[in-house]
Structures are given as structure tokens and as C-alpha cells.
Amino acid sequence: MSTVRTGPVIGLIAQLALLAALAGTVGLGGPGAFVGIACGVTTNAALARGLARSGAGALGPADRVTLTRATLAGGVAALTADSFDRTAPVTTLVALTVVALVLDAVDGWVARRTETASTHGARFDMEVDAFLILVLSVYVARSTGGWVLAIGAARYAFVAAGWLLPWMRGSLPPRYWCKVVAATQGVVLTFAVADVLPRSLMVVVLVASLALLTESFGRDVWWLWRHRREPGRIVVSARPEHSRESRQDVESTANERAAARDVTVGQHSAGSGRVGPGRTALRTNRAG
């Protein structure tokens, strides 16, 4: 077995083990088992593909923490799917979510501490965050209203807009406020799942959370619109002997901008900020 596939295989085994533990304790029906297995297969298949494309031989220390969070998110998704047919074990669901949110800060710290930060790790981190927020919004929407889904769908709508509008695929300057807003979404949705606040107050908090998210995304869209025609860094030399250096400079700039776009699209979905010293080449971290 190649080292590239070891991490995803272990991740899939861990996901199946968590689902088995849930089935043996709080119970897990057919829909929950199906969704949980689908999450495990999809997540770890995408992880294996990402490792292969990045050329990484194995998961780094921070990636292992993120994989643990992905496994927990799969468990939350399974319990959420089951909640459509029966009462969900809220205590277990909240416990899994809280651990996943806490680890969101840990993986960034580990990446910086061990100097193993990478573009692939940042992308993995943001995808896990975005998925967890989406799942939580689905659960809360059942009792509060479909409008809550906008919280979980915002990041995916931003990505989809980039497919249609090339100027929205540009690189954004880093903003700490994005991290604050992203962390707020997870905390607010967790309180909504726990149902520990009066319903009217919880609705107000959710509306405020969505307003913050809308403002943050709106500000980024406006920035991208204003800078949509900003020329890229192109070095042109009139001397033939410098043509190779010029081409290399342009190619390097293009690669950096492409890497930045990969991280740019998810900044609101991750509060840990896993771009550390090892990622200084990236201009932004829209992972939150």
C-alpha cells in the first residue's frame, strides 16, 4: 500500500468505527448510516486525490487533526440525517460538534508549530469547516426555518459564482474579520442545535449571524469587482537572452495566483487560519 493512500484508508476506517459506535450507543438508522458512509467515502476519496495532486507522501500532523474533524463532521451528518425520521440525540450531536470546533483551532496551531503548513492542508481544512457549518444549518433549519440554510450555503454560492464570473476567482487580501465571522457561524449554530436559548432570542442571534456573514462576503465581492481589471504581474524583456527568465517569472506568478484562488474561496468557512509561516507564498486565506 502506498503512503499516499494510508491516511485516507485510516480515515475511512475511523469513520466506520465512529458510525458503529453511534449505532451501538444512541442508535443509528438506515438514513444516518447511509449518509455517514457516503461522507466517509467521499471525504477520504477527495483527500487521496488531493494528496496525489499535491505530491505529498503522507498526511502531515495538522492534516491528521483535520481528518479527525472530518470524521466527527461525518458523524454529525449521520445524526442529522436520522433526525428527519426520529428524535436526534442532541447531547451526542452537540458533543461531536464542540470537539470538531475546538480542533479547528488546534490544526492551525499544529501546522504553524511543526512548520508543516501546505496549500493542500489549508484547502482540506476549509472544506471540512464549510461542510460542518452546512450540516448544522440543515439541522437548525428544520425547527427555525429554511432561511437558516443560507448560512451553510453561502460559501458554496460564492464558489459557484466564481464558476460563472471569472472576476470572482481573483485573490483577496487577508482579513482577520473573516476568521471572526466564520468562527461565529459555528458557535451560533451549535447553540441553536443545543436549544439552550429562548426561541425568539435564538432567531435574533441567527439573523445577526447571517447578517455578519452577508456583510463579510459582500465586502469581498465588492473588492473583487473593483479590482476585476487589475493587471497581473507580467515581466517583459526586449532582450532575447532574458526571455527564459521572463517566462519563468510569469509562470511563477500564475502558479501563486492559482494557489491563492484555491485558498481564497473558503475563507469564511474556517476559523483556524491554517496559513502560517509555511504558507507565506499565499496572498490570502479565505478559509476563515
pLDDT digits (tens, 9 = 90+) for 193-222: 999 999 999 999 999 999 999 999 999 999
- CA–CA dist 118, 3 (Å, integer): 18
- List the single range of 91-105, 144-158, 200-214, 269-283 with lowest mean pLDDT: 269-283
pLDDT digits (tens, 9 = 90+) for 133-184: 999 999 999 999 999 999 999 999 999 999 999 999 888 887 888 888 988 9
- CA–CA dist 243, 250 (Å, integer): 11
Residue 28, pLDDT score: 94
Q: Is residue 81 pLDDT above 50, yes or no?
A: yes
Write the secondary structure of 266-285 as one string of H (helix), E (strand) and C (coil): CHHHCCCCCCCHHHCCCCCC
Residues in Cβ contact with 261 at an 8 Å cutoff, skipping those fewer than 6 apart: 169, 170, 171
